[in-house]
Amino acid sequence: MIRIDAPRLWSTLAMMAQIGGTPAGGVTRLALSEEDRIARNLLRDWALEAGFACDVDSMGNMFIRRAGKNRDLPPVMTGSHMDSQPLGGNYDGIYGVLAGLEVLRTLNDHQVETERDIVLVNWTNEEGARFAPAMLASGVWSGQFSEEYALARADNAGVTVGEALDAIGYRGTQPARAFPVHACYELHIEQGPILEDEAIDIGLVRAAMGQRWFTLTLDGFAAHAGTTPMHSRRDALTAFAELALMVEEIGYQHKPDGRATIGMAQVTPNSRNVVPSRVVCSVEFRHPQSEVLEAMEVALREAAEGLATRGVTANVERIFDYAPIAFDEACLARSEKAVEALGYSAKPMVSGAGHDTCYISKIAPASMIFIPCEKGISHNEAEKILPEWSEKGANVLLHSVLSAALEK
C-alpha cells in the first residue's frame, strides 16, 4: 500500500509558512494580497515542475490537474485554500492544498495511472478576512453567489475583489463555473480539541453544522444611577446578562453538537453613572440538524419575551440562515476503507466551521477529513500540528482520492 512522502510534505508546509510569516511563528496571508500572490506562484511552480497543468478561473481559483486515462469522465477533486486570517496559523487551509499536491506527486512517484483526472484546487478568499463573505469564490463556482456580486466585494480600503485579482495577476480567463465532479475531498485541521483529547488519528466528517444568526435589541429606560431605586429600574444591561445565560443554557440543552454564542454587544448610553437604556447584541446558533436549529430559535424567542418582566422589550431579528450540510456516504465510505487499511483510528465528526467543500457538496458528492491540531487552537499564530498527524491525514486523502479516481 503506497504512502505519501511525509518529509516532502512537511518541507513544503515549512516553505509556504515563510510567505507572510509573523515574528510569533504564524502567518498573515490575506486573500489576493502580495503574500497571496507569492504563495500562489510557488504552488503553480511546484505543480508545473511535476508536470501538472495549472488553470486559473475568473475568480482566481487555481485548478491543478493530473491527467487520467479517460478525460471524458468527471474528475476527482481535492483542495482547500491558501489565504489566512490576520495573525493566523500555518496549517488552516494550506495543509489541505499542500497535502493534495503531495497526493499528486506521490502518484507520479509510483507511476500510478488513474481512470479519471485528479484536480487540486486552491479556492480564493475562503476566510473572508479581507473580503466578506467567507467562501466567496467557491460560492461563485458552485452557483451560490453571482460573479458580479463577488467581484464587487470591497475590503476596508475600498479595494474590490476584481481590482485585487488584477493587481496580483490572478484574474483568469476561464469562467468561474462548476464542471462535473465525480467526488470531492477536503483535508483540514480540526480547529477543535476533540481528536487530540481522545487520541484519535482521523476525523471522518459526516456533516457540517447549520448556522442561524440573530440581532437582538433590548430596550429599557435610561435613568440616573444614583437617584433611581433598584425596584424602579428598567435596566437593559441586566436583562442582557440574564439573556446571555439563557443563550448559554440553550447550547447546553442540545449538546454535544449544539453551539450557542453571543459574540458582541453594544451598550447605550455606555456611561458609568447611567442605567443602560439599550443593548444590541448578536446571537449565533449552530447544529447539524435543521429541526434542532428551529428549536433553539424558538427557545431564544421565548427567553426574549420573558424579559418583559424586567420592563425591557426585546426585538429578535434573524439575519442569516445557513442550512446544515450532510456529506456524501460514498465519499465517506472510501475514507473509512482507507483508514482501516492504513491501521489508523478514526471517529465520525461534525464540522462546526464553514468550509469551501460545504458549497461544493451542493453540486457534487463530497466529504471532509480532519486531523488533530494542538489544543484545538486555530485562527491563531499558536496553531500547530505534529508531523505524524500531517502524514496520516495525507495518507487517508491519498487513498480516498485514488479509490475514487480508479473508478470507471
Q: What is the dihedral of CA 393, 57, 405, 112, to 10 degrees?
A: -80
String of b and e for 323-352 (b: at least 16 CB within 10 Å)? ebbebbeebbebbbebbeebeeebeebbbb
CA distance 14 to 3: 20
Known binding residues: 81, 92, 127, 188, 379
Residue 74 DSSP class: P
Residue 252 DSSP class: H
Contact 195, 208 (CB under 8 A): no
Please list the residues that pair with 208 across neighbouring strands: 325, 351
String of b and e for 373-382 (b: at least 16 CB within 10 Å)? beebbbbebe
In total, the chain counts a number of residues equal to 408
Q: Is the peptide bond before 193 cis (omega within 30 degrees of 0)?
A: no
Q: At what angle do helices 94-109 and 6-17 cross, to 10 degrees?
A: 140
Task: Find how far residue 150's CA is from the centre of its chain.
Answer: 18
Pairing mode of beta strands 183-189, 76-81: parallel
Contact 202, 339 (CB under 8 A): yes
> Could you tell me which residues come within 8 angstroms of residue 358 by beta carbon, excluding any fewer than 6 positions away?
135, 208, 325, 351
Please list the residues that pair with 318 across neighbouring strands: 214
The number of helices, as runs of H, and strands, as runs of E, in the chain is 12, 16
Contact 161, 153 (CB under 8 A): yes
Known binding residues for Zn(2+): 81, 92, 127, 188, 379
